Amino acid sequence: MPKNFVSNKDETVRMFDNNFLEALSKIHFSVPLYIYIPVILAFLYRSVILYELRFTKILALIILGIIVWSLTEYLLHRFIFHYVPDSKFGLRIHFIFHGVHHDYPSDSRRLVMPPSVSVPLALLFFYLFSAILGYIYVAPFMAGFLTGYLFYDMTHYAIHHFNMHNKFWLAIKNHHMKHHYQDPAKGFGVSSPVWDKIIGTDFLDKNK
């Protein structure tokens, strides 16, 4: 990704001439919580009350959902958000989806995924995993998957706007800061560096 411009201020850039589209591209970091926490609770209600699944099965599927989200986060960030097409239109799409974040990494209104993107993706994943797991088991799985997504969004915001002193959170923040300021071709895990370590896109020890 070309490093033509990087702003370290909480400022934004206009992406759309249309005011409605421009508004859709900005979001307060708390909005995903209001949208997805009720959805997660609904999935848990279905798992416990409607389907009467055993606690151990619910817990196992929730954990599986969190793990699958963490891999999804890595794959989306690496292969979709960082895919840079050659065409002018493709470059424009790349900038809208992710390039703007690398140019304006502290823009507080563009640090979590807007519902205009996250809701269609959530529906797509729901139908995909329903086809794989079935309509009963997909409920606790999606509760875990969406919990992982919320952890990702809140972590991403915190990385760019909170002062972190805890060793665990500081390690996550440093990992993501290296992705921004050291090498954008590495460190694709935002909420966790685990997949970077497994797949081989982590930063070298000498750079830590």
- Minimal CA–CA distance to 22: which of 77, 118, 100? 100
CB proximity list for 18: less than 8 A, separation 6 or greater:
none
Residues 184-199, mean pLDDT to the nearest whole number: 94
- Give the highest mean pLDDT range of 14-28, 65-79, 161-175: 65-79
pLDDT confidence of residue 26: 86
Could you give the 3-state DSSP secondary structure of residue 14? coil
Note the pLDDT tens digit of each residue in 138-165.
999 999 999 999 999 999 999 988 888 8
pLDDT confidence of residue 4: 54
Q: How many residues does the chain have?
A: 208
Contact 149, 118 (CB under 8 A): yes
Note the pLDDT tens digit of each residue in 52-95.
999 999 999 999 999 999 999 999 999 998 888 888 877 787 77
pLDDT confidence of residue 1: 36
Confidence of residue 3 (pLDDT cuts 50, 70, 90): very low
CA dihedral 24, 12, 161, 150 (to 10 degrees): 20
Q: Provide the strand spans (E) within the chain.
A: none
Q: Does residue 113 surpass a pLDDT of 80?
A: yes
* pTM of this structure: 0.91
Report the distance separating Cα 159 and Cα 100, nearest Å.
17
Report the distance separating Cα 2 and Cα 94, nearest Å.
12
Residues 85-106, mean pLDDT to the nearest whole number: 81
Task: Classify residue 123 as exposed, middle or buried by CB count within 10 Å of its CB (0-12, 13-18, 19+).
Answer: exposed
Contact 104, 110 (CB under 8 A): yes
Residues 27-55, mean pLDDT to the nearest whole number: 96
pLDDT confidence of residue 140: 98
